[in-house]
């Protein structure tokens, strides 16, 4: 348990932690802060707002060092509340120079927890450029949590662009995954022009999952996906679920001459159920829906659930590509799994509602397995026998009893 202030704060000018300010109030602000009881923080801040600017500044000046001491001594679960309190107190300090000196002191402290806290305070400084060198040093700190915190704070650090670039490059080339991920998280907001660095983050397995979440800022800034295509392919291979989400977003910004690149990327995701469930969103980008047919093949899809998802996508595309989808309907009706075969009934209904010529394609099922012929019988039963006299007659005389029973049952409904 720490019983005294960290060494670096004892000599800090104007931080008199034992002084008292005589202000008439029923609530003892001094005692409340020194109690380290985080439940009292909302009440402490409420009291601060009652004071005039001069008195609240004096209180903040007096007690902020006490909070730094509390932060070091506190269990991890309380550190977030103490950090919020410190930030609230910073807003009461009007002297920018005092805030700058305070952050410099904290960033040079021997305790890495305080060094990691320092970057989050830059948003309260009016002249952040004064802290540029301090921040650059923190991006090279020996402790990864300090480097990470510094990188995350760059979104609030209004440094010159060259300084921001240098700090981000340090983070991109960092060996620690948490620091790389911090760079991946903020690079789109801080420096969307750093294409090379962003591509490195996409390609690195340590950071690609987080980097994919920044894709919109880059494809929007650079009018398309061409510059990021190869790196996206690597990232999608590393993390297909997140990659699928990123591709859906990126597709909205793709230029017409980039549509083939979208298809190539999407071909990596045909076994990714989460992407295929949102296939219609992806399809909206394409005026020529025939480009999507390669994504609807079930030849290498081992999961029957995934085949059902593809089937449902075929139902949605049937109105655009009925001839090609009719060929796939036969394939679904001949599937080894009953659930897939049964699901194809809806696809046949859709096709025949578009054009009755697809009854001829349904009749092709009569040359397939008896299970496929049962699907034909069920389609007839749902749509009605009037349009299927020839097919139903053949099914009535089928060599397999189950097929004969099925057509009779559905005709007699």
Residue with tokens 């989400």: 245
- The tally of CA atoms less than 13 A away on the side-chain side of residue 339 is 8
Distance CA 275, CA 281 (A): 10
Distance CA 151, CA 179 (A): 7
pLDDT tens digits, residue range 112-135?
Answer: 999 999 999 999 999 999 999 999
Task: Say whether pLDDT at 22 is over 80.
Answer: no
| pLDDT > 90: percent of the chain | 70
pLDDT at 8 (0 to 100): 44
Q: Which residue has the higher pLDDT, 299 or 325?
A: 325
Q: Which residue has the higher pLDDT, 110 or 40?
A: 110
Give the model's confidence band at 95: pLDDT under 50 very low, under 70 low, under 90 confident, else very high: confident
Give the model's confidence band at 182: pLDDT under 50 very low, under 70 low, under 90 confident, else very high: very high
* Angle between helical axes of 304-317 and 322-333 (0-180°, round to 10): 150
pLDDT at 384 (0 to 100): 83
Distance CA 46, CA 2 (A): 28
Lookup: tokens for 214: 């920044």
Among left, alpha and beta (phi > 0; psi -120 to 50; other), residue 31 is alpha
Distance CA 236, CA 272 (A): 10
Task: Say whether pLDDT at 20 is over 70.
Answer: no
Distance CA 25, CA 195 (A): 57
Window from 93-97, 280-284, 314-318 with minimum mean pLDDT: 93-97
Neighbouring CB atoms inside 10 A of 302's CB total 8
Cα distances from 198 to residues 42, 44, 83, in angstroms, run 41, 44, 31
C-alpha 82 chain-centroid distance: 29
Task: Say whether pLDDT at 5 is over 60.
Answer: no
Mean pLDDT computed over 249-267: 96
Closest C-alpha among 130, 41, 50, 54 to residue 87:
41
Mean pLDDT computed over 351-375: 95
pLDDT at 12 (0 to 100): 36
Task: Say whether pLDDT at 274 is over 70.
Answer: yes
Distance CA 367, CA 35 (A): 85
pLDDT tens digits, residue range 309-332?
Answer: 999 999 999 999 999 999 999 999
Cα distances from 54 to residues 21, 50, 95, 261, in angstroms, run 11, 11, 11, 62
- Residues making up the chain, counted from first to last: 413
pLDDT at 9 (0 to 100): 42
Distance CA 313, CA 215 (A): 26
Helix/strand/coil percentages in the chain, nearest 5: 75, 0, 25
Give the model's confidence band at 51: pLDDT under 50 very low, under 70 low, under 90 confident, else very high: low
pLDDT at 412 (0 to 100): 63
Distance CA 29, CA 51 (A): 11
Residue with tokens 């420096």: 191
Task: Say whether pLDDT at 207 is over 50.
Answer: yes
Neighbouring CB atoms inside 10 A of 56's CB total 21
Mean pLDDT computed over 383-388: 82
Q: Report which secondary-structure segment, H or E, holds 118.
A: none
User: What sections of 158-214 are H helices per DSSP?
Assistant: 161-172, 177-190, 195-203, 208-211
Closest C-alpha among 135, 128, 224, 144 to residue 177:
144
Closest C-alpha among 53, 66, 60, 69 to residue 6:
69
pLDDT at 87 (0 to 100): 86
pLDDT at 79 (0 to 100): 82
Closest C-alpha among 124, 174, 173 to residue 153:
124
pLDDT at 54 (0 to 100): 67
Closest C-alpha among 345, 341, 323 to residue 331:
341
Distance CA 316, CA 110 (A): 62
């Amino acid at each position: 348990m720490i019983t005294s202030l960290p060494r670096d704060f004892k000599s800090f000018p104007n931080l008199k932690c034992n002084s008292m300010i005589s202000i008439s109030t029923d609530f003892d602000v001094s005692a409340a802060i020194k109690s380290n009881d985080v439940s009292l923080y909302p009440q402490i801040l409420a009291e601060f707002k009652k004071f005039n600017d001069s008195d609240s500044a004096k209180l903040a000046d007096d007690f902020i060092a006490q909070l730094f001491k509390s932060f070091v001594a506190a269990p991890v679960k309380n550190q977030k509340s103490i950090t919020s309190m410190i930030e609230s107190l910073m807003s009461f300090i009007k002297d920018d120079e005092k805030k700058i000196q305070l952050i410099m002191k904290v960033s040079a402290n021997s305790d890495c927890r305080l060094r990691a806290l320092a970057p989050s305070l830059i948003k309260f400084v009016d002249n952040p450029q004064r802290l540029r060198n301090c921040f650059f040093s923190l991006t090279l700190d020996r402790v990864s949590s300090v480097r990470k915190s510094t990188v995350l704070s760059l979104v609030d650090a209004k440094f010159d662009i060259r300084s921001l670039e240098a700090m981000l490059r340090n983070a991109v080339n960092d060996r620690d995954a948490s620091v790389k991920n911090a760079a991946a998280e903020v690079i789109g907001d801080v420096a969307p022009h750093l294409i090379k660095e962003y591509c490195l983050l996409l390609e690195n397995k340590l950071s690609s999952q987080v980097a994919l979440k920044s894709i919109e800022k880059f494809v929007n800034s650079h009018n398309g996906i061409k510059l990021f295509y190869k790196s996206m392919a690597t990232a999608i291979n590393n993390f297909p679920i997140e990659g699928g989400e990123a591709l859906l977003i990126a597709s909205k910004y793709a230029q017409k001459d980039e549509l083939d690149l979208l298809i190539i990327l999407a071909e990596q995701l045909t076994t990714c159920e989460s992407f295929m469930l949102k296939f219609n969103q992806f399809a909206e980008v394409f005026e020529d829906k025939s480009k999507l047919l390669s994504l609807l093949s079930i030849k290498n899809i081992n999961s029957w659930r995934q085949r059902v998802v593809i089937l449902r996508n075929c139902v949605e595309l049937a109105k655009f590509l009925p001839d090609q989808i009719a060929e796939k309907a036969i394939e679904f009706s001949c599937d080894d799994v009953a659930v897939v075969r049964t699901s194809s009934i809806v696809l046949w209904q859709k096709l025949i509602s578009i054009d009755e010529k697809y009854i001829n394609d349904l009749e092709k099922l009569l040359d397939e397995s008896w299970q496929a012929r049962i699907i034909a019988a069920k389609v007839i039963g749902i749509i009605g026998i009037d349009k299927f006299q020839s097919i139903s007659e053949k099914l009535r005389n089928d060599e397999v009893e189950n097929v004969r029973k099925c057509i009779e049952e559905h005709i007699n409904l």
